């Protein structure tokens, strides 16, 4: 591939992503004066990463330290003066500078004096960077893995002392020598997560500070995919890419391997800064020149901008959810609330959902066929909204060559008005629009096919079971309900970003509320997604004339009231599922999905492992996130047990949930009575035989009695 300057269109794409340069130390003075910074920006770089202090400051710190002979006394380090720093305040280029903390300090030194001096230096540097108007400072990670707590404490103190600066901890992806196995018989290194462990300790001790993030060094040899996926869930602000890891293409231009390209493509979804390192040195080697031209050095920048223009196209879900990644949204309550037209319109933009519904209706109508006396098949669209399913039913009728009569039942008075308009302009005599709650509606004719779109992100979380139970009494004994069934599915997950977002609001109800989330910065911890429960329609527990499960008066709007004494106990559910965890991590909550059988082989799914097979490009539903108030650490080869309850008091429905974690240890001592007799899924993998299962911890029971979150009947 021949390198050339980016075209205008490419520049527009590249403007969404940021590329920086870390100049060689020998070139710092020329790079960081006003002209140098502006020259770098003109050349196409967005930022320069520059050391805050210079060797003169280090010499001064060394002199002060040596002047205090008593090892018990910590020298007082003065803030840097003009001759100690590499740049001065300048609003013109402050936005283009990332400060770099001194690499020679040792916050984690076992020598208390060295650690204390290092902590002073860090505070001085952060303070000066903040004074100069910088937003980010990059600090080197710990030098020792056995003193991370001291490092994190010093970092936390510095963050508290300088409240307007963001700190980026520069870390390797994995230890040197940890790389992707080269064949099926090659085992990944045992401790591939050791660097992530260090980062996890730092951010935990710093209490998930929103001003603390990661600067990840991209290695020449990539670690296993489990490590790549784990870091993807972390707050990565910078990717450091050394020019030394580039390869030369047949024409001699620098390129990255396919594996490195795929890694960058994945991480670019988070839009981090990419900072190029060692550009001059790599260019000298590549061109065999001691004084390579600026154009030669720009080849690496041009290539990075080229990568931005060839990013894989976003999926349908990514396009639909753009701007909502990891953003918490309360689930809809269409039974209790009347939705706005704009909300209906958003969901009507999903062509896959309505294509599947239309296919299901076509099959159901084909099975019903034309009655012997040429009476139309009676179809009820319950919860008709703005009428998309009514239109689906009419199109399916034409395709199946089966005449139908449609009831469009809707309780939202504003949507009802809109339906009347569509009837007059589009549907006319084939459709009767009914203003009613489906649970107390009494049609003139019994229903042959009842269709609804009441599914939520967890299947039943928008009260589809309760709504359809109330409407089932008007269905013929041979009637069909679409959907025929739906099931809830879940898996434990790690998402520091979501946990930090919830934690920052410091409200008890938020930690006890399920949220709809377009997940991005998340790592699924378990090896498989599991089913929680299922609902079927028509409900086998209800007779033909069973009333609605809502108890007591429930006013929906003027003149429309439900007052009925049926019980909703048959819609309670409880499940306890065990998940095997191969690689250690932190559990912040669990993700919920659903699958639905609309009719026969026509299905919907939001599960990431089945959505492409059952309903590719379905976008109407984001997953649901069940948070836990305290993160739980799970080691390698451990297990997580999640218990979920769906409960009702006949006035509302709510979920309760709790989590337990276990570690698996080979062997089973004689006479031991404190072990779970249930066989573990990973017993064989852990020891080739029986394992001892030791409880590590558990969460509280969340949302007890629906105190914080519930769905009103």
pLDDT in the model for residue 601:
97
The residues carrying an active-site annotation are 453, 462
Distance between CA atoms of 683 and 41, rounded to whole angstroms? 57
Average pLDDT, whole number, for the chain? Answer: 88
Q: What stretch of H or E contains 62?
A: helix 55-67
Residue 11: what pLDDT? Answer: 47
pTM across the whole model: 0.89
Q: What pLDDT score was predicted for residue 332? A: 85
Q: Are 611 and 484 in contact (CB under 8 A)?
A: no
Q: Which residues contact 16 (CB under 8 A, 6 or more apart)?
A: 271, 308
pLDDT, residue 91, reads 79
The model's pLDDT over 604-631, given as tens digits with 9 standing for 90+, comes to 999 999 999 999 999 999 999 999 999 9
- pLDDT confidence tier of residue 561, bands split at 50, 70 and 90: very low
The pLDDT, as a whole number, for residue 180 is 57
pLDDT at res. 565? 38
The predicted-structure confidence for 649-661, as pLDDT tens digits, reads as follows 989 999 999 999 9
490 and 590 in contact (C-beta within 8 Å)? yes
Query: What is the chain's alpha carbon radius of gyration, rounded to the nearest angstrom?
Result: 31
Query: Does residue 458 or residue 294 have the better pLDDT?
Result: 458
Q: Give percent of the chain above pLDDT 90.
A: 72
Distance from C-alpha of 590 to C-alpha of 143, rounded to nearest angstrom: 34
Residue 669's pLDDT is: 54
374: confidence class by pLDDT, cuts 50, 70, 90: confident
How many Å apart are CA 577 and CA 526, to the nearest integer? 12
**Dihedrals phi, psi of 661, to nearest 5 degrees:** -125, 150
Would you place residue 119 in the very low, low, confident or very high pLDDT band (cuts 50, 70, 90)? very high
Determine contact, residues 649/571, Cβ cutoff 8 Å: no
**What pLDDT was estimated at residue 5?**
47
Q: Which two tokens stand for residue 535?
A: 């609902």
Domains of the chain, by residue range, sit at 11-312, 341-453, 485-712
pLDDT digits (tens, 9 = 90+) for 377-428: 999 999 999 999 999 999 999 999 999 999 999 999 999 999 999 999 999 8
The answer to whether the beta carbons of residues 589 and 233 sit under 8 Å apart is no
Q: Which pLDDT value is given to residue 692? A: 87
Which residues, 6 or more positions from 405, have their beta carbon under 8 angstroms from its beta carbon? 376, 377, 378, 379, 430, 431, 432, 445
Strand pairing class (485-494; 523-524): antiparallel
* Amino acid 7: pLDDT: 47
Residue 671: the pLDDT is: 56
- Residue 670: phi and psi, rounded to 5, are -60, 140
Average pLDDT over residues 547-566: 40
Mean pLDDT of 48-76: 92
Q: Is 239 or 689 the better-scoring residue by pLDDT?
A: 239
Q: Has residue 352 got a pLDDT over 70?
A: yes
**Integer Cα distance of 218 and 205 in angstroms:** 25
Residue 346 CA to residue 326 CA, distance in Å, equals 19
Strands (E), 203-292: 212-218, 236-242, 247-248, 254-255, 273-277
Stretch among 176-185, 249-258, 486-495, 674-683 having the lowest mean pLDDT: 674-683
CATH code of 485-712, in short, is 2.70.160.11
Do you know the residue count of the chain? 713
Lowest mean pLDDT among 2-6, 29-33, 71-75, 429-433: 2-6
β-pairing, 523-524 with 624-634? unpaired
Nearest-angstrom CA–CA distance, 230 and 633: 14
Res 558: pLDDT: 34
Least confident of 17-31, 99-113, 303-317, 397-411: 17-31
402: alpha, beta or left? (left if phi > 0; alpha if psi -120 to 50): beta
Architecture of domain 11-312: Alpha-Beta Barrel (3.20)
Rounded mean pLDDT, 361-388: 93
Beta bridge partners of 600: none
Predicted local distance difference test score (pLDDT) of residue 543: 63
Candidates 657, 637, 675; CA nearest to 589 is 657
Which sign does the torsion angle of CA 51, 56, 59, 60 carry? negative
Choice among 306-320, 405-419, 639-653 with the minimum mean pLDDT: 306-320
Q: How far apart are the first and last CA of the chain?
A: 63
Q: Can you list the alpha helix ranges (DSSP code H) found in 369-435?
A: 388-400, 413-422
Position 306 scores a pLDDT of: 94
Question: Is the pLDDT confidence value at 551 over 80?
Answer: no
Is the pLDDT reported for residue 681 higher than 50?
Answer: no
Rounded distance, CA 110 to CA 52, Å? 25
Query: 310-324, 436-450, 684-698: lowest mean pLDDT where?
Result: 684-698
Nearest residue to 152 (alpha-carbon basis) of 90, 213, 76, 204: 204
Query: Phi and psi (nearest 5°) for 110?
Result: -70, -15
Cα separation, 446 vs 475, whole angstroms: 6
From 2.60.40.10, 3.40.50.150, 3.90.1300.10, 3.90.400.10, which CATH number describes the 341-453 domain? Answer: 3.40.50.150
Structure confidence by residue, pLDDT tens digits, 12-32: 444 578 999 998 876 666 556
Residue 341's pLDDT is 94
Give the bridge partners for 406, in sequence order: 379, 431
């Amino acid at each position: 591939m021949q390198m050339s300057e980016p075209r205008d269109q490419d520049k527009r794409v590249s403007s969404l992503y940021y590329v920086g340069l870390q100049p060689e130390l020998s070139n710092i003075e020329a790079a960081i004066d006003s002209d140098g910074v502006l020259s770098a920006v003109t050349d196409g770089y967005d930022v320069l990463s520059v050391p805050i202090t210079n060797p003169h400051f280090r010499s001064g710190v060394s002199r002060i330290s040596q002047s205090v002979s008593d090892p018990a006394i910590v020298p007082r380090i003065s803030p840097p003066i003009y001759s100690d720093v590499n740049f001065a305040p300048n609003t013109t280029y402050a936005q283009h500078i990332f400060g770099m903390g001194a690499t020679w300090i040792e916050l984690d030194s076992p020598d208390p004096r060295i650690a204390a001096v290092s902590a002073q230096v860090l505070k001085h540097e952060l303070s000066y960077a903040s004074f100069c108007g910088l937003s980010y400072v990059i600090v080197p990670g710990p030098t020792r893995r056995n003193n991370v707590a001291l490092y994190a404490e010093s970092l936390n103190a510095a963050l508290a002392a300088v409240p307007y600066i963001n700190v980026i901890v520069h870390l390797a992806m994995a230890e040197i020598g940890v790389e992707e196995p080269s064949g099926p018989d090659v085992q990944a290194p045992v401790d591939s997560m050791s660097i992530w462990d260090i980062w996890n300790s730092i951010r935990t001790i710093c209490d998930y500070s929103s001003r603390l993030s990661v600067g990840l060094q991209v290695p020449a040899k990539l670690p296993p995919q489990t490590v790549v996926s784990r870091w993807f869930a972390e707050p990565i602000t910078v990717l450091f890419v050394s020019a030394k890891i580039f390869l030369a293409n047949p024409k001699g231009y620098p390129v990255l391997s396919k594996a490195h390209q795929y890694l960058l493509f994945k991480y670019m979804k988070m839009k981090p800064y990419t900072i190029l390192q060692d550009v001059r040195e790599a260019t000298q080697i590549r061109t065999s020149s001691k004084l390579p031209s600026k154009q030669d050095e720009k080849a690496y920048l041009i290539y990075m901008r080229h990568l931005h223009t060839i990013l894989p196209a976003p999926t349908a879900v990514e396009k639909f959810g753009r701007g909502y990644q990891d953003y918490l949204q309360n689930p809809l309550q269409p039974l209790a609330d009347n939705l706005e037209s704009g909300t209906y319109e958003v969901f009507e933009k999903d062509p896959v959902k309505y294509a599947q519904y239309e296919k299901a209706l076509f099959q159901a109508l084909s099975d019903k066929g034309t009655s012997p006396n040429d009476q139309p098949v009676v179809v009820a669209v319950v919860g008709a909204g703005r009428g998309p399913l009514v239109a689906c039913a009419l199109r399916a009728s034409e395709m199946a060559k089966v005449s139908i009569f449609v009831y469009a039942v809707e309780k939202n008075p504003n949507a009802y008005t809109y339906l009347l308009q569509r009837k007059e302009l589009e549907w006319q005599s084939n459709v009767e629009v009914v203003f009613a709650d489906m649970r107390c509606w009494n049609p003139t004719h019994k229903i042959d096919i009842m269709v609804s779109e009441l599914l939520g992100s967890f299947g039943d979380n928008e009260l589809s079971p309760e709504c359809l139970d109330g409407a089932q009494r008007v269905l013929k004994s041979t009637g069909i309900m679409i959907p025929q069934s739906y099931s809830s599915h879940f898996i434990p997950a790690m998402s520091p970003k979501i946990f930090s977002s919830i934690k920052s609001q410091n409200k008890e109800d938020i930690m006890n509320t399920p949220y709809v989330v377009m997940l991005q910065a998340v790592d699924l911890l378990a090896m498989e997604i599991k089913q929680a429960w299922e609902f079927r329609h028509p409900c086998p527990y209800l007779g033909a004339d069973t009333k609605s499960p809502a108890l007591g008066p429930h006013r929906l709007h003027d003149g429309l009231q439900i007052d009925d004494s049926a019980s909703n106990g048959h819609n309670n559910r409880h499940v306890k599922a065990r998940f095997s965890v191969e690689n250690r991590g932190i559990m912040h909550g669990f993700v919920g999905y659903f699958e639905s059988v609309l009719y026969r082989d026509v299905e919907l799914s939001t599960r990431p492992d089945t959505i492409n097979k059952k309903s590719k490009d379905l976008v109407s539903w984001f997953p649901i996130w069940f948070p836990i108030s305290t993160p739980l650490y799970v080691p390698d080869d451990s297990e997580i047990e999640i218990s979920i309850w769906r409960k009702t008091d006949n006035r509302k429905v709510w979920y309760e949930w709790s989590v337990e974690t276990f570690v698996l240890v080979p062997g089973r001592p004689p006479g031991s009575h404190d072990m779970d007799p249930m066989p573990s899924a990973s017993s064989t993998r852990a020891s080739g035989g029986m394992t001892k299962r030791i409880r590590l911890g558990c969460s509280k029971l969340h949302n007890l009695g629906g105190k914080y979150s519930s769905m009103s009947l």
